Amino acid sequence: MKVALITGVTGQDGAYLSELLLNKGYIVHGIKRRASSFNTERVDHLYQDPHEKNKNFILHYGDLTDSTNLIRLIQEIQPDEIYNLAAMSHVQVSFEIPEYTGNTDGLGTLRILDAVRLLGLEKKTRIYQASTSELYGKVQEVPQSETTPFYPRSPYAVAKLYAYWITVNYREAYGMFACNGILFNHESPIRGETFVTRKITRAVARIALGLQDKLYLGNLDARRDWGHAKDFVRAMWMILQAEEPEDWVIATGKTTTVRDFVQMAFAEAGIEVSFVGRGVEEKSFVKNCKNPDYQLPVGKEVLSIDPRYFRPTEVELLIGDATKANTKLGWKPEFDLMDLIKEMVQADLQRMLRDKYLKGEGFETLNYFE
Ligand code: NDP
Ligand code: GDR
């Protein structure tokens, strides 16, 4: 049985990857952070009673800023594969906490690599580093591939640039099987609520059900290459099964504006919207609502721009060229953007129906709009 260690196991990708590896017969160890409230919601369905013997999904407390913790865990676990997914992963928040982001996302990667080396596991343990299309930042060339120059545009991306190169360096210096997956945006119904896709699908559901008046967003012109997280965690695993350690772009090859994502998400709920105005004055209104259960009059304003969501430096256009992964790994996405939006909107409608019921019964429900 192969043994894997996943950092960031409680995040979107950590949860999907855990499921994938357990289905493949791995023993999966995950590192979770201590928090003052529960933070394991995404993996609770995989949880096993800690008093049982022969568990194959095991969680440990840890943190990427704590070297001694990482060394001890890697020594105890002796993993065949490490997936380093832990990160402060919100680009806009990284402008608020740049030092912490550098420490976790940049130096955290070094701590993992160096722990493996220190413990003499260079030849046993394969390492996947969660690199990102944010490395491309300011547009140098499109579509972006493994040979496109990097130009990071946020403290997050600069930290991930360090992580990218330290991974390459440890591979070359110590012969480690350490790889970067340069993954473009990937989403799902369990995407964090403050990333734009989930913020939109959640708001669509809440507006439809009368739980929220409207949605506030920032830059609607930004374009992203959005895929499904399930396809992308499969690529992570394939990268570590390759014959040689290399760096790989994983993307769908299609790009869409935030504005079009909004339109498609409302359409999935049967609500047609139109956009009026430009820049910070832009707004969106209901043009037609096909679902009689949603009391949304034609002309209702459902979206405004809030400049708070503009970033000091923005990444305007991402579109990936995954030809290398398509041909050498045989990786291809199974979901397209419409499948993804459908799944996300329907899941949020289900969740919000529950919230509506609870509210009707006098209970408080989560009500934030970031
Ligand atoms: P999430 O934000 O959903 O998950 C991040 C995980 O990292 C969480 O488990 C979080 O714990 C954990 N974490 C944060 N800080 C620390 C720390 N100091 N020590 C230990 N754990 C920590 O991210 P995703 O699942 O979306 O992404 C996974 C990785 O892939 C990240 O590194 C991200 O930067 C990268 N990436 C993501 C892409 C995407 O589109 N999703 C695209 C390209 C790269 P907690 O739950 O307690 O907050
Ligand atoms: P991104 O994802 O920055 O690409 O990083 P995010 O969903 O946060 O932003 C995508 C684009 O949407 C624009 N935008 C808004 N974004 C947010 N979050 N909230 C808003 O209200 C809003 N309005 C417009 C943004 O300006 C941006 O252009 C994600 C993360 O998962 C990273 O960890 C990962 O590395 C990259 O994807 C690839």
- Please identify, among 157, 183, 209, the residue that sits at the C-terminal boundary of a domain: 183
Both tokens assigned to 198: 């989930």
Q: Is the CB of 234 under 6 A from ligand 2?
A: no
Of 224 and 52, the one with more pLDDT: 224
Residue 25 and residue 59 in one domain: yes
- 267 in a domain, yes or no? yes
Instruction: Please state the separation of Cα 242 from the chain's center in Å.
Output: 23
Both tokens assigned to 284: 């969106």
Position 369 pLDDT exceeds 60:
no
For CA atoms 66, 67, 70, 75, give the dihedral sign: negative
pLDDT digits (tens, 9 = 90+) for 246-271: 999 999 999 999 999 999 999 999 99
Residue 280 and residue 346 in one domain: yes
Decide if 134 is catalytic.
Answer: yes
Residue 155 and residue 95 in one domain: yes
- 247 in a domain, yes or no? no
Both tokens assigned to 237: 């695993």
CA 122 – ligand 2 centroid, Å: 35
Residue 164 and residue 311 in one domain: no
- 171 in a domain, yes or no? yes
CA 232 – ligand 1 centroid, Å: 14
- 365 in a domain, yes or no? no
Position 78 pLDDT exceeds 90:
yes
Cα–Cα separations (whole angstroms), residue 214 to 24, 263, 306: 43, 14, 12
Catalytic residue, chosen from 81, 134, 187, 343, is: 134
Catalytic residue, chosen from 16, 26, 136, 156, is: 156
Q: Is the CB of 199 under 6 A from ligand 2?
A: yes
Instruction: Please report, for the chain, how many H helices and E strands are present, in that order.
Output: 11, 15
Nearest to 318 by CA among 229, 250, 264: 250
Residue 155 and residue 209 in one domain: no
pLDDT of residue 178: 99
Rg (CA), the chain: 21
Average pLDDT over residues 103-123: 98
Helices within 52-107 (DSSP H only): 67-77, 91-96, 98-101
Residue nearest to atom 13 of ligand 1 (CA): 86
Nearest to 247 by CA among 117, 135, 79, 101: 135
Catalytic residue, chosen from 104, 109, 132, 201, is: 132
Residue 18 and residue 162 in one domain: yes
Both tokens assigned to 285: 């209104």
pLDDT of residue 96: 98
Residue nearest to atom 28 of ligand 1 (CA): 85
Average pLDDT over residues 99-108: 98
Task: Give me the interface pTM, i.e. the ipTM.
Answer: 0.99
- 122 in a domain, yes or no? yes
Task: Quote the percentage of the chain above a pLDDT of 90.
Answer: 95
The CATH number of the domain holding residue 206 is 3.90.25.10
C-alpha dihedral (35, 38, 39, 43), degrees to nearest 10: 140
Residue type at position 42? R
Q: Which numbered ligand comes closest to the C-alpha of 233?
A: 1
Residue 178 and residue 154 in one domain: yes
Residue 14 and residue 129 in one domain: yes
The DSSP result for 151-195, as a single string, is ---SHHHHHHHHHHHHHHHHHHHH---EEEEEEPPEE-TTS-TTS
DSSP SS3 for 224: strand
CA-to-CA distance for 168 and 161, rounded, in angstroms? 11
Host domain of residue 265: 196-223+257-315+336-360
Both tokens assigned to 341: 């939006």
Residue 89 and residue 22 in one domain: yes
pLDDT of residue 31: 98
Q: What is the DSSP letter of 102?
A: I
Structural domains counted in the chain: 2
Both tokens assigned to 19: 């499921």
pLDDT of residue 50: 78
Residue 302 and residue 215 in one domain: yes
Vertex 105: Cα angle to 250 and 235 (nearest 5) = 20
Position 368 pLDDT exceeds 70:
no
- Please identify, among 183, 208, 238, the residue that sits at the C-terminal boundary of a domain: 183
- Please identify, among 155, 183, 211, the residue that sits at the C-terminal boundary of a domain: 183
CB 222 within 8 A of CB 316: yes
> Interhelix angle for 337-360 vs 196-208, to 10°?
50
- 323 in a domain, yes or no? no
pLDDT digits (tens, 9 = 90+) for 37-54: 999 999 999 988 878 877
- 239 in a domain, yes or no? no
Backbone angles phi, psi at 225, to 5 degrees: -95, 95
The CATH number of the domain holding residue 67 is 3.40.50.720
pLDDT digits (tens, 9 = 90+) for 172-182: 999 999 999 99
Position 367 pLDDT exceeds 70:
no
Residue 150 and residue 262 in one domain: no
Position 370 pLDDT exceeds 60:
no
Instruction: Please state the separation of Cα 292 from the chain's center in Å.
Output: 34
pLDDT mean across residues, the chain = 97
- 191 in a domain, yes or no? no
pLDDT digits (tens, 9 = 90+) for 127-172: 999 999 999 999 999 999 999 999 999 999 999 999 999 999 999 9
Residue nearest to atom 29 of ligand 2 (CA): 185
Q: What is the residue whose two structure tokens read 């359409």?
A: 267
CA-to-CA distance for 333 and 213, rounded, in angstroms? 35
Residue 147 and residue 27 in one domain: yes
